[in-house]
Amino acid sequence: MNIKGKFSSRTLAIYFLIGIGIIGIVTYIYSNYLIQRIEKETETTSRIFAKYALSPTMDEQSLLELLFEEVIRKIDFPVIMTDAEGNPTSSKNIETNDLKKALEKLNKHQTPIPIIIHHDSDSTLVGYVHYGLSPFTKSLQILPFVETVFLIAFLFLGFWGYLIYRKSEEEKIWNSLARETAHQLATPLSSLIGWLEAAKGEVSEDIHTGIREDTQKMKEVLEKFSRIGLPPRLVEKEPTDIIRKSVEYMRKRAHTNIVFHEKYAPLPAVKYDDILLGWAIENILKNGLDAIGSDKGEITIKTFVAGGAVIEIRDTGKGIKKGKEIFKPGFTTKKYGWGLGLVLTKRIVEEYHKGKLVLKGTSSRGTTFQIIIPKVEK
């Protein structure tokens, strides 16, 4: 599934609307739940007050019975009663039989409340009330955390969607620009081919052959640009032939001070698009030639098997100072470069061929790239 292609501005807007709606509904439901709990507790307190108000002279025993019926029997939090020495005497809502262990756990979070009986000016400590938090109170404690996590997750997914949408829009622009360029150049190229045929016999055979090869290469370049953004035409075979052709084409266009070394080992069958893979190899070779410039230099093309078909290209140029940025659109060390060669190469290798383009190393003594195409699983 191509997520990038399906993440449009409308999808992003719908996502935010759904997300805001979910947050609103969850907040509304949970807020109502909290309000109902608070209302019940308020009702209990009001009932105690009402009964006591009807009988302000209620004796101590009756008051204790009222508190027991309306409060103590209805509590939902853990409570342990102890004597003055700290020995448990009774408990409620304790899940374990080991009251001393439960007592230690309660005392870590809440300070025990002393039970003191006053006799005129004297007072006597008779015990302690050890208590914990009710599930309702715990839910109130974690509510801000849950809401924060949910909001961060929502914002993160929204930002992620925005980045995908933005990238897809940029790709649409580049794809449209590439196809429009190919369309605009197709007509004058056809005319050039016609003029070339008309000039046959008027110029030397070597010149005519050279111009014909270049016009054929221009046709291939236009086809490459016209196919950007479209599915690749993958074939399953051994790729050495297309590697040789790409190297031979660049060898003819390199100056005489460049020496090419080719070391081909047998490769497994892989799925690749002839034109696109050839374009990727030529881009790396061209970068190597540009790095060497007019100086003497060497370019070594080596193939071997390591988890798939590996095409290694090494030049003896001046290297790349900012190696990590070379795959960013617009990055270039050339005065008139667009900074798209390696970006397109990476896309061809990784998105179209499910492989990997690796900058193996770079220094003042040269740069090494590897194209890794996975072998076909039987």
Q: Give the neighbor-by-neighbor strand order of the sheet with 122-131.
A: 88-92, 79-83, 122-131, 113-119
What is the average pLDDT across 120-149? 75
pTM: 0.52
Tell me: the pLDDT tens digits for 163-208?
777 777 666 766 666 666 776 777 777 778 888 888 787 778 888 7
Tell me: the pLDDT tens digits for 251-310?
988 888 999 999 999 999 999 998 889 989 999 999 899 889 888 999 999 999 998 999
For position 18, what pLDDT does the model report? 79
What is the average pLDDT across 113-118? 76
For position 1, what pLDDT does the model report? 40
Q: Which position has the token pair 């479209």?
A: 230
Does the pLDDT at position 319 exceed 50? yes
What is the average pLDDT across 55-79? 62
Tell me: the pLDDT tens digits for 128-142?
888 887 776 666 667
DSSP H or E run through 299: strand 297-305
The counts of H helices and E strands in the chain are 9, 11
320 and 326 Cβ atoms separated by less than 8 Å: yes
Does the pLDDT at position 330 exceed 60? no
